[in-house]
């Protein structure tokens, strides 16, 4: 019996959009994820983009708002959109939007009550990866991208797994969570107050320590984003990348904010960036 339950399927452009549910043994709860597949006849073995969404989001936000399926169908890219945290009545939560369900920060929590379920890094890189490869047959080249908290996740997963991902892109990512309010709050709760334990989940710190394969990075940041200066600070990652002579491009987009309007505007360019890097 298949480990995945098909909840929805929709024809869109020259491909299919699916929504699945499965039971995660690692997170000990049901999890949903969305998946776009381009035309199987034209692209029988498509590369796979992992999209990680931001605070308060689930697997539907990107699927419904970004409009990425048109370009993905043209370029022959499959896209997987996981949820942002474990969910359920038995799962630890908070009344704050930036902690708990919907705010998993793509790490492995070590502190209770979070440690029992909040293992999003291992869920994505191991359990969901195995499911996608074995159950759905998607075992080709991979890219990773995300927005805000998900941009943080994309950078961390990409920098920690350089042999796996061909390229990384992000929209308005939290690049230095150890030093901004969103990240400090999450890290203190999920990882404890010992700041040395935070480094492996911080893109700036990972960049400063990086050695080995260099995975090209593209970042778009809107200059009208209300979180730009206080929570995001992408220039810190640019500075760290320059010290390592690392291939990173930051584009400051005039007039753009933190919303999915910005993502919808530039997502096609991000998908083309990934395909071009794969061709290289």
**Could you tell me the domains of the chain?**
4-279 (3.40.50.1820)
Active-site pick, 225, 256, 270, 274: 225
148 included as an active-site residue: yes
Q: What is the mean pLDDT of residues 39-68?
A: 97
- Beta-carbon contacts of 221 under 8 Å, excluding residues fewer than 6 positions away, are 171, 172, 228, 232, 234, 250, 251, 252, 253
Whole-model pTM? 0.96
Q: Is the predicted pLDDT of residue 177 greater than 90, yes or no?
A: yes
pLDDT band, very low/low/confident/very high, at 2 (cuts 50, 70, 90): low
| Burial letters 82-121, b for 16+ CB under 10 A, else e | bbbbbbeeebbbeeeebbbbbbbbbbbbeeeebeebbbbb
Active-site pick, 34, 85, 145, 148: 148
225 included as an active-site residue: yes
Q: What is the mean pLDDT of residues 213-231?
A: 96
89 bridge partner residues: none
What pLDDT is attached to residue 212? 86
What pLDDT is attached to residue 3? 87
Residue found by looking up tokens 């220039």 in the block = 235
| % of the chain beyond a pLDDT of 90 | 98
Active-site pick, 147, 210, 256, 258: 258
Q: Is the predicted pLDDT of residue 169 greater than 90, yes or no?
A: yes
53 included as an active-site residue: no
Cα 178 from Cα 155, distance rounded (Å):
14
């Amino acid at each position: 019996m298949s480990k995945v339950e098909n909840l929805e399927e929709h024809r869109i452009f020259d491909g299919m959009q699916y929504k699945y549910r499965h039971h995660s043994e690692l997170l000990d709860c049901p999890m949903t994820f969305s998946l776009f597949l381009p035309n199987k006849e034209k692209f029988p073995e498509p590369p796979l983009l992992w999209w990680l969404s931001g605070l308060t989001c689930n697997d539907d936000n990107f699927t419904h708002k970004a409009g990425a399926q048109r370009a993905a169908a043209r370029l022959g890219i499959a896209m997987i959109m996981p949820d942002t945290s474990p969910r359920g009545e038995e799962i630890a939560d908070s009344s704050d939007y930036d902690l708990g369900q919907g705010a998993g920060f793509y790490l492995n929590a070590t502190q209770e009550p979070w440690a029992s379920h909040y293992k999003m890094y291992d869920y994505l890189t191991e359990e969901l990866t195995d499911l996608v490869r074995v159950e759905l047959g998607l075992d080709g080249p991979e890219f990773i991208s995300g927005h805000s908290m998900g941009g943080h996740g994309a950078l961390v997963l990409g920098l920690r797994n350089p042999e796996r991902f061909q390229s990384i892109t992000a929209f308005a990512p939290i690049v230095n969570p150890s030093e901004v309010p969103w990240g400090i709050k999450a890290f203190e709760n999920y990882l404890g107050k010992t700041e040395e334990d935070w480094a492996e989940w911080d893109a700036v710190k990972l960049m400063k320590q990086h050695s080995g394969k260099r995975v090209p990075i593209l970042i778009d940041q809107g200059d009208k984003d209300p979180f730009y200066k206080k929570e995001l600070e992408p220039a810190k990652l640019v500075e760290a990348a320059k010290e390592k002579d690392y291939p990173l491009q930051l584009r400051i987009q005039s007039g753009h904010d933190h919303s999915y309007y910005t993502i919808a505007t530039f997502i096609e360019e991000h998908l083309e960036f990934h395909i071009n890097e794969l061709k290289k």
